[in-house]
């Protein structure tokens, strides 16, 4: 895969995408952000403003960095923003452990969301 030759239609796994919404890694990031926002509205989680704001911001950053890098129409810049997104997904994973440990999310919610993070990380590893 040669990112230096990418233009407006970016590449993921050898597949060309004309819109960011078509990219599986962006779709996973969107699902992750939606889940996190739903979880953070539950019971005690919604009153832990520090963790709530941090995990929502981190998940939104994953999705936003993928989109920003894609829209810059430069393979080199796209890679930079994918690295930012990958770092943010690490923050989300860490914050999931905190939320789980505090009882804000149950084991099933934790596992599903954690698996979604791992899926995105694997996609980033392939892309970067």
Burial class (CB in 10 A: 0-12, 13-18, 19+), 59: buried
The string of pLDDT tens digits covering residues 90-113 is 999 999 999 999 999 999 999 999
Question: What percent of the chain lies above the pLDDT cut of 90?
Answer: 73
| Residue 40 within any structural domain of the chain | yes
| Residue 106 within any structural domain of the chain | yes
The string of pLDDT tens digits covering residues 19-40 is 889 899 999 999 999 999 999 9
Work out how many domains the chain is built from and give that number. 1
Contact 110, 96 (CB under 8 A): yes
Q: How far apart are CA 30 and CA 75, in angstroms?
A: 22
Query: For residue 80, what pLDDT is reported?
Result: 94
| Residue 27 within any structural domain of the chain | yes
Residues 6+ apart with CB under 8 A from 1: 11, 13, 14, 127
| Helix 107-127, helix 75-101: angle, nearest 10 | 160
**CATH number for 32:** 1.20.1440.60
Domain that holds residue 45: 22-127
Give the DSSP letter of residue 40.
T
pTM of the model: 0.83
Question: What percent of the chain lies above the pLDDT cut of 70?
Answer: 88
């Amino acid at each position: 895969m040669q990112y230096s030759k990418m233009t407006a239609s970016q590449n993921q796994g050898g597949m060309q995408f004309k819109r960011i919404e078509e990219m599986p890694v962006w779709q996973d990031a969107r699902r992750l952000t939606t889940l996190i926002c739903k979880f953070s509205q539950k019971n005690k989680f919604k009153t832990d403003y520090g963790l709530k704001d941090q995990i929502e911001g981190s998940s939104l950053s994953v999705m936003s960095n993928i989109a920003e890098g894609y829209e810059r129409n430069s393979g080199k810049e796209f890679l930079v923003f994918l690295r930012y997104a990958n770092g943010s997904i690490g923050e989300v994973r860490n914050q999931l452990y905190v939320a789980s440990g505090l009882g804000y999310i149950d084991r099933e919610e934790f596992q599903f969301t954690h698996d979604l993070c791992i899926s995105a990380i694997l996609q980033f590893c392939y892309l970067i």
